[in-house]
């Protein structure tokens, strides 16, 4: 999904950050597609043991196999992040295979489009369940590992919708806004435990989610979207992965509770 005119996206030698100091264990939800997949590729390339948790089991397995073929330690589990029991079970399996979880990135998410008065309670609940409550379940399942280690990194993937509002997707906007607030609350609660918690609210990233939204007529095409983005083009999963790798590094230890927009200047 990368923009082919982006020489800056050649990350074959990594974005300059050191490899994982002790083959840390990173869990990425929604890691089978889009920016979650880019994040997994980046972690794997930097020596992290990476666990892909995704509702799309076959896609997660396929991604894991490709990364293992390149020599990385990667496992995949089919999990609906809204299913608390399944989340805790999957984290238990990660722990059993790789050890305690050092890093959590919550990229699993679903989008929804409907005029506000037509959002059904079922649509409202599902969007909140996946985007917000799923983040809650995942964070609760791994924070004890991080507290015990005295070190941890959590990056939530929110949305620029939470920063500037998005018409026709108030349920999504509400869920992502709550993810930003939850990130700040967690950051304060766990700052003294060596755990940092930050959020990346993306905007205009070329992924299967945005392509599907375009195909359904809910988003303009890439050329039209690019005109509204100050840098003049869409972003790629690798742009999010680079920011994420930094936020999860040792070097980012003094950064917590922050909202790091990766959006081509769309929100400043
Ligand atoms: N693409 C953008 O421009 C953009 C903008 C703002 C926010 N986001 C957010 O970024 C995150 C990643 O989106 P993307 O664009 O890479 O989309 P994507 O559809 O390519 O990837 C999302 C992944 O999440 C998985 N997933 C969905 N529901 C799940 C569930 N209940 N349990 C576990 N996994 C589930 C999907 O199977 C998929 O693999 C999402 O949270 C999305 O809301 C994306």
Decide if 146 contacts 195 (C-beta within 8 A): yes
Q: Rounded distance, CA 110 to CA 133, Å?
A: 12
pLDDT, residue 239, reads: 98
Ligand 1 atom at minimal distance to the Cα of residue 108: 24
Within a 13 Å sphere around the CA of 44, how many CA atoms are in the beta-carbon half? 26
Over residues 139-159, the pLDDT tens digits come to 999 999 999 999 999 999 999
For the Cβ of 33 lying below 6 angstroms from any atom of ligand 1, the answer is yes
Over residues 165-175, the pLDDT tens digits come to 999 999 999 99
Over residues 207-238, the pLDDT tens digits come to 999 999 999 999 999 999 999 999 999 999 99
Kindly report the CA angle at 249 between 99 and 229, in degrees rounded to 5? 125
Measure 188 CA to ligand 1 centroid, in angstroms: 26
190 is catalytic: no
Decide if 51 contacts 25 (C-beta within 8 A): yes
For the Cβ of 74 lying below 6 angstroms from any atom of ligand 1, the answer is no
Measure 157 CA to ligand 1 centroid, in angstroms: 9
Q: Rounded distance, CA 107 to CA 155, Å?
A: 9
Q: How confident is the model at residue 7 (pLDDT cuts 50, 70, 90)?
A: low
Q: Whose CA is nearest to atom 32 of ligand 1?
A: 80
- Whole-number percent of the chain with pLDDT over 90: 92
Measure 116 CA to ligand 1 centroid, in angstroms: 22
pLDDT, residue 1, reads: 42
For the Cβ of 34 lying below 6 angstroms from any atom of ligand 1, the answer is yes
């Amino acid at each position: 999904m990368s923009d082919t005119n982006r020489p800056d996206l050649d990350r074959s030698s990594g974005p300059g950050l050191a490899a994982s100091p002790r083959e840390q264990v990173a869990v990425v939800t929604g890691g089978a597609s889009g920016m979650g997949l880019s994040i997994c590729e980046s972690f794997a390339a930097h020596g992290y043991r990476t666990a892909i948790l995704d509702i799309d089991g076959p896609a997660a397995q396929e991604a894991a196999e490709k990364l293992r073929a390149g020599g990385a330690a990667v496992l995949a589990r089919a999990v609906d992040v809204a299913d608390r029991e399944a989340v805790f079970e999957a984290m238990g399996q990660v722990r059993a295979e790789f050890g305690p979880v050092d890093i959590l990135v919550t990229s699993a998410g679903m989008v929804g489009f409907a005029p506000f008065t037509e959002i059904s309670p079922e649509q409202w609940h599902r969007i909140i369940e996946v985007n917000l409550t799923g983040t809650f379940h995942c964070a609760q399942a791994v924070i004890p590992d991080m507290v015990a280690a005295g070190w941890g990194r959590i990056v939530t993937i929110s949305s620029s919708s939470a920063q500037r509002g998005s018409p026709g997707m108030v349920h999504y906007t509400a869920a992502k806004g709550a993810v930003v607030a939850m990130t700040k609350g967690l950051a304060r609660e766990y700052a003294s435990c060596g755990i940092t918690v930050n959020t990346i609210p993306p905007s205009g990233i070329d992924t299967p989610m945005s392509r599907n939204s375009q195909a359904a007529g809910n988003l303009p095409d890439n050329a039209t979207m690019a005109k509204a983005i100050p840098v003049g083009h869409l972003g790629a999963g690798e742009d999010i992965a680079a920011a994420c790798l930094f936020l999860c590094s040792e070097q980012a230890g003094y950064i917590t509770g922050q909202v790091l927009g990766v959006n081509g200047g769309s929100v400043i």
